[in-house]
Amino acid sequence: MHEASVATKVLAASVVEAQRRGLQRLSAIRLRVGSLWGVESASFATQVAVFAQGTVLEGAKLQIEIVPAFARCRSCGMEVRDARLRDPAFLHNLAHGMILVEALLSCRRCGDGAVAIEQGRELDVVEVEG
């Protein structure tokens, strides 16, 4: 249950933010979750709701923005476009495995396999409301 581990990270960050702001209860939370986490929004929201019971996050409205993955060649700087980076099933399986996405990609311009993921690994609590 990969969404469960990501949900616990979100819960921990939310509790810290609520404490920092002196809030007893959160009514809403806005998240940015990179697609490389491989979470499906509905399942993820359910997991957050389950883990939020009895915390400042219980009952809070959850807004999730999935951030698409973006890679760039380290050698020539070209954006590396690979349809797999937009395939939910591939991303889900990738998030559950031990292989690094960079090992699966290469640059079509120069052929180099040294690519850097510039976007898609985010797991950010963007905004909370009390």
Domain at 74, CATH number: 3.30.2320.80
Residue type, 59: G
State the pLDDT at residue 59: 93
- When divided into structural domains, the chain yields a total of 1
Give the mean pLDDT of the chain.
86
pLDDT of residue 54 exceeding 70: yes
Give the contacts of 25 (CB within 8 A, at least 6 positions apart).
18, 56, 58, 59, 60, 130
List the domain range (segments joined by +) for residue 43. Answer: 2-129
